[in-house]
Amino acid sequence: MDWNLLLPLLLNGLIVGALYGVVAMSFVLIYKASQVVNFAQGEFLLVGAWVCWYFLTEWHLPFWAGFLFTMAFMTLFGIILQVVVLRPLIGEPVISVIMATIGLGMFFQALMKWIFGVFARPFPPIFATERVELLGLQVQPVYLMSLAISVVIMAAFAWFFTASKHGLAMRATAFDQQVAQSLGISVPKVFAMSWAISALVSSVAGVVVGAVNGVSSALSFYGIKVFPAVILGGLDSIVGAVLGGIIVGLLENLAQYVDATWLNWGNMYAIAPFYALILILLVKPYGLFGTKNIERV
């Protein structure tokens, strides 16, 4: 065992996996609340990262201000998307809604390339670049920030769904819309709110990844990585999404290790999660925490 290679890979897996978890959570949030499979989740990251990049480099805002502006922008973005595109599709066949979200994904992918170009752009440096020592490893502070932000978002989700008025309303709506309405909950508002929160949270992940790797259309790949994560965790489980995300992150890096040490096939890193996806669908199609009677699409 080559611990000098394995440990950093595992740490990397945990950090990236936590980000996958965050994106998967926001994917599940939309699915749970409004039964929409959002194929444009990755583009939420992309749009959020580009918008933040724009605020920072073109408007020369300090990071905190640019970050806040981005969050406000993405909240509005999510609401508008739901109201303008998804709301008219309520009651339409699942496949139509999926087509619409795929279309949205392509549209924003192209729009971002049109506005910002096709090349990756670096974020202005946000943190000191000196490495810090952690468990005998040299780690860049920006990675630690990324992990911390993921954990904060997860804690905020946990709090939101158990102790806030709107979180409870969202869970109630996910369970039974008719009953929720009879208790005074506005279902259209809950739908809009779920899209707003999902866009907001995904964009935070987008900014974090952008700050580490630079902003480019590769960011939307996170939206695809979300699928193995949520299928593993169960399509309608927030906890499952977090665990699924972390497992996929670790899996990627373990695959990388196995590949680099023994197999030498190359590129296992990118492919392993999707092998896992196929396996899970064969063995446990509802995932670890999914509800058994959910509709499969």
Partner 1 sequence: MTLREAAPILQADNISLRFGGVRALTEVSLSVHPGEVFSIIGPNGAGKTSFVNCVSGRYSPTSGRILFEGQDITRMRTNRRAAVGIGRTFQNLALFGHMTVLENIMVGRHHLLKRGFLAGMAYWAGGAEAEELKHREEVERIIDFLEIQHVRKAIAGQLPYGLRKRVELARAMALQPRLILLDEPMAGMNLEEKEDMARYILDLNEEWGMTVLMIEHDMGVVMDISHRVAVLDFGRCIATGTPEVVLANEHVRRAYLGEVDELAAEPVA
Site residues (vs partner 1, CB under 8 A): 159, 162-166, 168-169, 171-172, 175-176, 178-187
Site of tokens 């990675």: 143
One-letter amino acid identity for 125?
A: P
Cβ neighbours of 238 (radius 10 Å): 22
> Measured between alpha carbons, how far is 78 from 280 in angstroms, rounded to an integer?
31
State in angstroms the smallest separation of the CB of 242 from partner 1: 17
User: CB burial class (10 A; 0-12, 13-18, 19+) of residue 182?
Assistant: exposed
Angle in degrees, 0-180, between the axes of helices 187-213 and 3-34, rounded to the nearest 10: 160
When the beta carbons of 87 and 166 are compared against partner 1, the nearer one is 166
- Identify the bridge partners of residue 137 per DSSP, sorted by sequence position: 134
State in angstroms the smallest separation of the CB of 293 from partner 1: 12
State in angstroms the smallest separation of the CB of 29 from partner 1: 16
The helix (run of H) or strand (run of E) holding residue 133 is strand 132-134
When the beta carbons of 25 and 190 are compared against partner 1, the nearer one is 190
State in angstroms the smallest separation of the CB of 129 from partner 1: 38
Cβ neighbours of 258 (radius 10 Å): 14
When the beta carbons of 98 and 172 are compared against partner 1, the nearer one is 172
When the beta carbons of 70 and 173 are compared against partner 1, the nearer one is 173
When the beta carbons of 96 and 164 are compared against partner 1, the nearer one is 164
State in angstroms the smallest separation of the CB of 189 from partner 1: 9
CB-based contact 227:20 (threshold 8 Å): no
